[in-house]
Amino acid sequence: MSQNYQQYGGNPYGQAEAGYGQASPYGGGYGQSNPYGGGYDEQLNPPPQLQQGDSNYSQPSQYSQAGGLSQPATNTQYAQEQPGAKPLSQQDFLSRIDGTKQRIGQLTSDIQTISTVHQRLLSSPDNRSSSELESIVSQTQIRNTQIKDEIKFLEKDAAREPNNSFKRTQVEALKRTFKSQLEDFQREEADYSKRYREAIGRQYRIINPEATDAEVQEAANADWGDEGIFTQALKSNRSGQASSVLGAVRARHNDIQRIEKTMSELALLFQQLNEQVVYQEAQVTQVENQTIQVTDDAKHANQQLDEGIKSARRARKLKWWTLAVVVLILAIIALVLGIYFGVVKK
């Protein structure tokens, strides 16, 4: 192992490298600080090159300190759009769908690459592989955010045409595919988190052969970024091997925290996708309810019109009957008068 292991803080990641301990380009909250969180009525641009910060895994991990993800953007932030925005043509809509599918396809490749680098780190930890993993995960999370924003845009466009089932079906299929990829990513990260903990347990037994299973389990779940825990473990065994092994344990712990951060961000993506579905469904339901109300009003107006026509017809009939009765009465009166005056003259 490296000579850096001879100090208890040393580990194979002791060189300066890109790290999750620094400000993440996507850690400020999706839809807010990321470059794809702007107006969805504009063409989404390809993600910019990431600017990696420096971190040192031989130092206490910053994941166990203050930090974490910002809260997701609210639905009001999602819903803002340009006044009078018109739905996309079917050709433009399908072009957006195809572009998003390509990004999801790249996500599949990224997940496989991340898995390969995780396996390499488990077998033989080194600074170069760690930096490579940092870069790939960061790029993948940026791409995830971009895909999420594109899907939200397409959902909003489909909601402008509630009767267009084609658009809605396309978006729903795209979202299912994306969620399936995110779930695969989550499973991969959860699996490697478990394997990193198992590696910590094996390394802990090297310096504490008499440790019980419960102690090994506690060590696997301990916060090795805490100097107190790290120093206490070192006191029990001050050999050179113990120093280097504990340094490697701390490195494993930082790998686990990196995975936990990724898992939190994936959970946030799911939350935002689900919120968007609720928002869009409510929006479509409102439009459909308004359409139903207009239809009911039209039916009611037609009924009233029919009633008015029937009433007018009845009024006309009554008028003619009244006129006929008046004429009949006048005829009777004329007849009676004619008979009367004829009899008097005789």
Residue 50: predicted pLDDT: 33
101 close to 93: Cβ distance less than 8 angstroms: no
Measured at the CA of 339, the angle between CA 338 and CA 345, to 5 degrees, comes to 90
Between CA 328 and CA 331 the distance in angstroms is: 5
Please indicate whether residue 101 or residue 239 has the higher confidence score (pLDDT): 101
Is residue 340 one of the residues assigned to a domain? Answer: no
Q: Are 263 and 185 in contact (CB under 8 A)?
A: no
Report whether 249 contacts 204 (CB < 8 A): yes
Helical residues (DSSP H) of the chain, grouped into ranges: 75-79, 90-123, 127-159, 165-207, 213-221, 227-235, 240-345
Count of structural domains within the chain: 1
Query: What range defines the domain where residue 164 resides?
Result: 3-275
Q: Is residue 299 part of a domain?
A: no
Give the rounded distance of the alpha carbon of 334 from its chain centre: 93
Which tokens belong to 19? 């790290």
Q: What is the pLDDT of residue 148?
A: 92
Binned at pLDDT 50, 70 and 90, residue 235 comes out as low
> Does residue 310 sit within a domain?
no
Supply 236's token pair: 């029990």
pLDDT (0 to 100) of residue 112? 92
Confirm if 77 and 85 have CB atoms less than 8 A apart.
no
d(CA 319, CA 316): 5
Mean per-residue pLDDT over the chain, rounded: 70
Kindly tell me if the per-residue pLDDT of 62 is higher than 50: no
What are the backbone dihedrals phi and psi of residue 17, each rounded to the nearest 5 degrees, phi first? -160, 170
Which residue type sits at 345? K
* Selection from 27, 198, 193, 182 nearest residue 118 by Cα: 193
Residue in the block written with tokens 């639905």: 75
In a domain, 254, yes or no: yes
Residue 89 resides in a domain:
yes
Domain annotation covers residue 251: yes
Q: 66: burial class by Cβ within 10 Å (0-12, 13-18, 19+)?
A: exposed
Supply the pLDDT for residue 222: 63
Distance (Å) of CA 138 to CA 34, 114, 132, 167, 273: 12, 11, 10, 31, 20
Residues 113 and 119: their CA atoms lie apart, in Å, by 10
Asked whether the predicted pLDDT for residue 39 surpasses 90, the reply is no
In a domain, 297, yes or no: no
Is pLDDT above 60 for 89? yes
Cβ neighbours, 10 Å, residue 221: 13
CATH number, domain at 108?
A: 1.20.58.70
In what helix (H) or strand (E) does residue 233 lie, and over which residues does it extend?
Answer: helix 227-235
Is the pLDDT at 64 greater than 90? The verdict is no
What's the pLDDT band for 100 if we cut at 50, 70, 90? Answer: very high
Say if 330 falls within a structural domain: no
Distance CA 104, CA 61 (A): 31
24 three-class SS: coil
What pLDDT shows up at residue 40? 41
